[in-house]
Amino acid sequence: MLKVINYTAGILGANNYLLYDDVSGECALIDCSEIVSIDDVYSQSAECIALSKPLNLKYILLTHGHFDHVGGCFDMKIKYPDVKILAHKKDFELIKALKMQTMFFGCPSVKNFEVDEYFDSEIEITLGDNKISVIETPGHTLGSVSYLADDMLFTGDTLFYEEIGRCDLPHSDFKQIRTSIVEKLFKLSPNIKVFAGHGMPSDIAHEVKYNHYFGEFAQF
């Protein structure tokens, strides 16, 4: 069974998620804002119990290529050399332009890193005996994706609690994010929990009704 621990990291306070299988011990980080010890993240959480197997970091799964979500990848790859970093191919140029990104926002630079695998379709990723589905959700960036694991949806900066990701940045597009949210994410089961890249969690039912941009009572 997959379980999740949320922690906030990095200069812009991004949500990072440690997703783990409590049987095999295999785990993945969804976004990686700064270097951490996964054992410390787990041991300091309210979910901490004795696991049958030690945690084994298998993947770093990037929702998109903005610096505040990838800033720890270089150091994490050194700390955990067997981890595989995955991202969508359409964010290749964005990930290669980290210095330009930080200069644009006036933030400290982050270290360049290499992605181990760029995917270009809605693949499935195995964690223990579990499947994580990739949903392409462009709009905030060209290669933005969401990860669906059981009843948990990790949306990066695409869908927030009653909000959506910025569409006024390079590589962003409002029409695309509308299609991604309304035609894809809002079609999912209403009980699916939404874990966003910033802010508090939500669920699909709440966003379908109350999202300020695309919900039933949309203000825009």
Read off the pLDDT of residues 56-99 as tens digits, 9 standing for 90 and up: 999 999 999 999 999 999 999 999 999 999 999 999 999 999 99
Tell me if 200 is assigned to some domain.
yes
Read off the pLDDT of residues 185-214 as tens digits, 9 standing for 90 and up: 999 999 999 999 999 999 999 999 999 999
Tell me if 220 is assigned to some domain.
no
**What DSSP string describes 92-160?**
HHHHHTHHHHHHHHT---------SEEE-S--EEEETTEEEEEEE--SSSTT-EEEEETTEEEEETSEE
Tell me if 215 is assigned to some domain.
no
The domain total for the chain is 1
Q: Rounded distance, CA 218 to CA 209, Å? A: 8
Tell me if 65 is assigned to some domain.
yes
